[in-house]
Amino acid sequence: MKIAIIGTGYVGLVSGVCYSELGNNVYCVDKDLNKIEMLRNGGVPIYEPGLQPLLIHNADQGRLKFTTDTVEAVAEADLIIIAVGTPPLPNGEANMQYIEAAAKEIAQAMNGYKVICVKSTVPVGTNERVRTIIATHYKGQFDVASLPEFLREGTAVKDTLHPDRIIIGAESEHAAKLLKELHSPLTDEIVVTDIRSAEMIKYASNAFLATKISFINEIANICEKVGADVIEVAKGMGLDRRIGASFLRAGIGYGGSCFPKDTKALIQIAGNVEYDFKLLKAVVEVNRHQRYGVLDKLFQALDNVYGKTIGIWGLAFKPETDDVREAPALEIIDRLIELGAKVKVYDPIAMESFRRMYDNPAITWCETAMDVAQGSEALCLLTEWSEFVTADLAQVEAALARPVLIDGRNVFSLDQIGNTGLSYYPVGRPVFHNKSQYSHLPV
Ligand SMILES: NC(=O)c1ccc[n+]([C@@H]2O[C@H](COP(=O)([O-])OP(=O)(O)OC[C@H]3O[C@@H](n4cnc5c(N)ncnc54)[C@H](O)[C@@H]3O)[C@@H](O)[C@H]2O)c1
């Protein structure tokens, strides 16, 4: 197939590369000339494991091209996929300006029948809006379809090539057939439904996953007070097939470019039809509060943080990505600085993207994980990069000015901590104090 993808960000680029890997001819379009030039030279503007070799291979085969020219890409294509951003407005609603601009640009480039589908996460009714915009400028035949995206940053290539399911929202048989044909090499689980339901499936899925995370975080907070261990609790719960083990990992809450934005957008979508989505409002509130658990633990360990040096391991919202949008680290570091702390930070990949979003003279940008630990009065693990998970804890203890480890992602076991002199503050599990106090605790 000849495909044009409008918007070459995390979703557009990974989709474009993977569709070309299936043998299709793909033209990726972006407004950002620097990004396009970098891609034309085989560079990748985002960190996504496994993406670069596939990109180079398919570009070399002539199946994958990059341009800033929407007209050229649309004119050549039978299928156009919109994958531009839908960032939140201050009231939580999705900002439709990029979708609407893309629809207008596509309309002006149309030169015959094409299927235009929206991969961006968009409120119910957006595909109809796209149809209206195109019909205003182009009088020929075309179809619109919804094609929501479920990839996760960090495993985006794998998720795209091996999806759990493909959701197609289409009202024309031809559009449904074309999209089924495109995705049939990837999975048998292809659901064809109406456009509005497809748009809703994306929001409902993300809202449900966010709910699972906030639920287990609430359970973790209760575990801390009653002396239970949330890891054991989640393990026991997850064995029930009705519940499932995934997304039951307690921590400092969800972040990233999707869950925070999509939960707030769904609350707003409900509000627009006078429905008060109470449950989802609570999920968002629990998540906002959860990240401050790190600060509560710092206060527990140090009394206060004023003038103290606090080490931070991890800035990205999760491992294997450079994305720091809505990362818990942003708010935690901002609050620490506001409280008068000096902050040392390190992330294996996300240092530059974090610094572009948040910089402050109170931050020391370190070159290694151990540089962060050196002389810090407490160390907070905020992203579970494997480099941190496999760190030598004896070395960490020796480097710290005070042996305090706050584990926002619950990555260390009692056995690991028990061999050190660290005071360990996990989430939803008992606090473990250093060796002498540790010996009486049950293992
Ligand atoms: N990032 C994810 O993990 C993920 C997963 C599933 C769904 N989504 C959804 O997919 C959409 C895209 O997300 P993303 O993370 O890839 O966004 P992004 O910000 O990384 O990329 C969007 C790109 O679109 C470009 N763009 C904007 N307007 C354009 C136009 N008119 N013509 C050409 N290019 C244009 C921007 O320059 C940018 O490079 C969003 O709706 C998001 O909610 C994202």
Query: Helices 10-21 and 51-60, interaxial angle, to 10°?
Result: 50
pTM: 0.94
Q: Which atom of ligand 1 is nearest to the CA of 152?
A: 3
- Whole-number Å distance, alpha carbon 8 to ligand 1 midpoint, is 7
In CATH, what number does 202-289 get? 1.10.1040.10
The predicted pLDDT at position 328 comes to 97
Report whether residue 7 contacts ligand 1, using a CB cutoff of 6 Å. Answer: yes
Q: From 71, 74, 116, 149, give the residue whose CB has the most ligand 1 atoms within 8 Å, as the site to mutate.
A: 149
Report whether residue 426 contacts ligand 1, using a CB cutoff of 6 Å. Answer: no
Q: Which atom of ligand 1 is nearest to the CA of 122?
A: 41
Q: Which tens digits make up the pLDDT trace of 383-416? A: 999 999 999 999 999 999 999 999 999 999 989 9
Report whether residue 428 contacts ligand 1, using a CB cutoff of 6 Å. Answer: no
- Whole-number Å distance, alpha carbon 217 to ligand 1 midpoint, is 29
Cα 71 to Cα 90: distance, rounded to the nearest angstrom = 32
The predicted pLDDT at position 443 comes to 37
Report whether residue 399 contacts ligand 1, using a CB cutoff of 6 Å. Answer: no
Q: Which tens digits make up the pLDDT trace of 59-115? A: 999 999 999 999 999 999 999 999 999 999 999 899 999 999 999 999 999 999 999
Best CA proximity match to 313, nearest among 405, 234, 250: 405
The predicted pLDDT at position 433 comes to 87
In CATH, what number does 2-193 get? 3.40.50.720
| Catalytic site residue from 18, 258, 366, 380 | 258
102 contact partners, CB below 8 Å, separation of at least 6: 6, 7, 70, 82, 84
What is the CA 374 to chain-centroid distance, rounded?
Answer: 30
Cα 33 to Cα 44: distance, rounded to the nearest angstrom = 13
Report whether residue 101 contacts ligand 1, using a CB cutoff of 6 Å. Answer: yes
**In the 3-class helix/strand/coil scheme, how is the chain assigned residue by residue?**
CEEEEECCCHHHHHHHHHHHHCCCEEEEECCCHHHHHHHHCCCCCCCCCCHHHHHHHHHHCCCEEEECCHHHHHHHCCEEEECCCCCECCCCCECCHHHHHHHHHHHHHCCCCCEEEECCCCCCCHHHHHHHHHHHHCCCCCEEEECCCCCCCCCHHHHHHCCCCEEEEECCHHHHHHHHHHHCCCCCCEEEECHHHHHHHHHHHHHHHHHHHHHHHHHHHHHHHHCCCHHHHHHHHHCCCCCCCCCCCCCCCCCCCCHHHHHHHHHHHHHHCCCCCHHHHHHHHHHHHHCCHHHHHHHHHHCCCCCCEEEEECCCCCCCCCCCCCCHHHHHHHHHHHCCCEEEEECCCCHHHHHHHCCCCCEEECCCHHHHHCCCCEEEECCCCHHHHCCCHHHHHHHCCCCEEEECCCCCCHHHHHCCCCEEECCCCCCECCHHHHCCCCC
Could you state, in order of their start, the residue ranges of all structural domains in the chain? 2-193, 202-289, 291-438
Report whether residue 151 contacts ligand 1, using a CB cutoff of 6 Å. Answer: yes
Report whether residue 102 contacts ligand 1, using a CB cutoff of 6 Å. Answer: yes
Number of Cβ within a 10 Å radius of residue 96: 18
- Whole-number Å distance, alpha carbon 263 to ligand 1 midpoint, is 17
Q: Whose CA is nearest to atom 30 of ligand 1?
A: 102
Report whether residue 11 contacts ligand 1, using a CB cutoff of 6 Å. Answer: yes
Pick the CATH number of 291-438 from 3.40.50.720, 3.30.420.40, 3.10.28.10, 3.30.70.20: 3.40.50.720
- Whole-number Å distance, alpha carbon 259 to ligand 1 midpoint, is 15
The predicted pLDDT at position 51 comes to 97
- Whole-number Å distance, alpha carbon 260 to ligand 1 midpoint, is 15
The predicted pLDDT at position 436 comes to 53
Domain 202-289 in the same topology as domain 2-193: no
Best CA proximity match to 206, nearest among 147, 154, 270, 280: 280
Cα 330 to Cα 357: distance, rounded to the nearest angstrom = 9
Clarify whether 258 is annotated catalytic: yes
Tens digit of pLDDT per residue, the chain (443 long)?
999 999 999 999 999 999 999 999 999 999 999 999 999 999 999 999 999 999 999 999 999 999 999 999 999 999 999 999 999 999 989 999 999 999 999 999 999 999 999 999 999 999 999 999 999 999 999 999 999 999 999 999 999 999 999 999 999 999 999 999 999 999 999 999 999 999 999 999 999 999 999 999 999 999 999 999 999 999 999 999 999 999 999 999 999 989 999 999 999 999 999 999 999 999 999 999 999 999 999 999 999 999 999 999 999 999 999 999 999 999 999 999 999 999 999 999 999 999 999 999 999 999 999 999 999 999 999 999 999 999 999 999 999 999 999 999 999 998 999 889 999 999 999 999 875 544 444 43
The predicted pLDDT at position 228 comes to 97
What is the CA 356 to chain-centroid distance, rounded?
Answer: 18
Q: Which atom of ligand 1 is nearest to the CA of 10?
A: 16
